[in-house]
Copies of this chain bind each other. A is one copy, B any other.
Amino acid sequence: MRLAMIGLGRMGANIARRLMKHGHEIVAYDHSADAVQALSAEGAAAASSLQEAAALLSGPRIFWVMLPAGDPTEATIETLIGLGAPGDIVIDGGNSFFKDDIRRAKVCAEKGIHYVDVGTSGGVWGLDRGYCMMIGGDKETVERLDPIFDSLAPGYGNVPRTIGREGQDDRAERGYIHAGPAGAGHFVKMVHNGIEYGLMQAYAEGFDVLKGRMSERLPEEERFDIHLPDVAEVWRRGSVVSSWLLDLCAGALARDEALEQFSGRVADSGEGHWTVNAAMEEAVPVNVLSAALFARYRSRSDTTFGDKLLSAMRLGFGGHVEMPQ
């Protein structure tokens, strides 16, 4: 198929490359002329504006927007809706908030444009491994785009088949699903990331407990000096906690068991927050997902006002004077 890739950052460029490798034609656009030039050198048609990108497509046109969520995506999609004609398809492949998708799909529908949201996981590894995709949109449009999704997805690969899926939709086994109407794709991807935060924090806490076994608070005979790179590595082999995230831990610890290059201040990208928010809308308790998110917030402060208030209360009722440690 022929489609325009709008946004040629790490994700957009690699998605375009993987599509070209599978025989699709790419019209490439980015606000950076260099990024366009680079992809053009690999076989894409270069566009220097959204208008030109539109002009380089024909029939019902397909635009894949791969930009940072928020203003950049919003502005671009607005422009595309302005440029668009009935039958055109606008795909938001970024990390948009699912309620933005719901809203945009309505606006698109008024003009006969089809809106599709694709949550993609796979990060920097997707070019080779393929992208895991969660797709929202109307059934016909999603099916029309199937050749694209099929090319981007990892495929069956060497992942052992799940028993009992015979006769069910095999797209899931090839690495993509049609999750529901517009917004559903990003919703499932959002929850994916919420879970990701929880999984990561579970490992983080576990390794903290291992490392803490040398604490001087402990009786000497209960202290252990555990070699963390080996622990991460051994758990990859037949243990219940084996996972791709653990593979990454093992790799990082093998390179530097002290992880000295990292400051310990951890960013969050929005989906964790949105997941907790969605849970609250549904009245679903998510103590693990919220704790994982809050640990990141806390990691970015040296101290909190609340901590000082605790000390002030302690001084007030008990005459405790907190000492710096």
> Bound complex: CA of A201 vs CA of B172, how far in Å?
23
Smallest distance from the beta carbon of A269 to chain B beta carbons, Å? 8
How many monomers of this protein are in the complex? 4
Of residues A183, A275, A291, which shows the largest number of chain B Cβ atoms within 10 Å of its Cβ?
A: A291
Task: Tell me what chain A mostly uses at the interface: helix, strand, loop, or mixed.
Answer: helix
Q: A210 at the A/B interface (Cβ < 8 Å)?
A: yes
Q: Decide: A306 and B204 in contact? CB cutoff 8 A.
A: yes
Task: Give the residue of B102, B193, B245 whose beta carbon is less than 8 angstroms from that of A243.
Answer: B245
Q: A184-B226, A202-B289, A309-B203 are known contacts. Are A122 and B238 too (CB-CB below 8 A)?
A: yes
Q: A58 at the A/B interface (Cβ < 8 Å)?
A: no
Task: Give the residue of B238, B308, B316 whose beta carbon is less than 8 angstroms from that of A131.
Answer: B238
Q: Decide: B244 and A240 in contact? CB cutoff 8 A.
A: yes
Chain B residues lying within 8 Å of A191, measured Cβ to Cβ, are 206, 209-210
Q: Decide: B172 and A230 in contact? CB cutoff 8 A.
A: yes
Q: Decide: B132 and A305 in contact? CB cutoff 8 A.
A: no
| Identity of the chain B residue whose Cβ is nearest the Cβ of A203 in the assembled complex | B195
Q: Decide: B231 and A177 in contact? CB cutoff 8 A.
A: yes
Chain B residues lying within 8 Å of A248, measured Cβ to Cβ, are 312-313, 316-317
Chain B residues lying within 8 Å of A200, measured Cβ to Cβ, are 309-310, 313
| Identity of the chain B residue whose Cβ is nearest the Cβ of A165 in the assembled complex | B254
> Bound complex: CA of A324 vs CA of B278, how far in Å?
24
Q: Decide: A209 and B282 in contact? CB cutoff 8 A.
A: yes
Stretch at the interface among A67-75, A77-85, A138-146, A258-266: A258-266
**A-B CB contact pairs (8 Å), 21 listed:** A121-B238, A121-B241, A122-B238, A125-B317, A169-B227, A171-B230, A175-B234, A179-B231, A188-B226, A192-B241, A196-B241, A200-B310, A201-B310, A205-B289, A208-B286, A259-B305, A264-B304, A264-B308, A265-B325, A285-B298, A287-B294
Task: Give the residue of B102, B237, B278, B294 whose beta carbon is less than 8 angstroms from that of A285.
Answer: B294
Chain B residues lying within 8 Å of A235, measured Cβ to Cβ, are 121, 132, 192
Q: A162-B250, A237-B130 are known contacts. Are A207 and B306 too (CB-CB below 8 A)?
A: yes
Q: A159-B236, A208-B306, A273-B280 are known contacts. Are A252 and B316 too (CB-CB below 8 A)?
A: yes
> Bound complex: CA of A287 vs CA of B202, how far in Å?
9
| Identity of the chain B residue whose Cβ is nearest the Cβ of A233 in the assembled complex | B172
Q: A221 at the A/B interface (Cβ < 8 Å)?
A: yes
Top 4 nearest A-B pairs (CB, nearest first) are A198-B202, A264-B303, A204-B306, A243-B243
> Bound complex: CA of A181 vs CA of B223, how far in Å?
10
Chain B residues lying within 8 Å of A280, measured Cβ to Cβ, are 273, 276-277, 293
Q: A195-B241, A240-B192, A245-B240 are known contacts. Are A215 and B309 too (CB-CB below 8 A)?
A: no
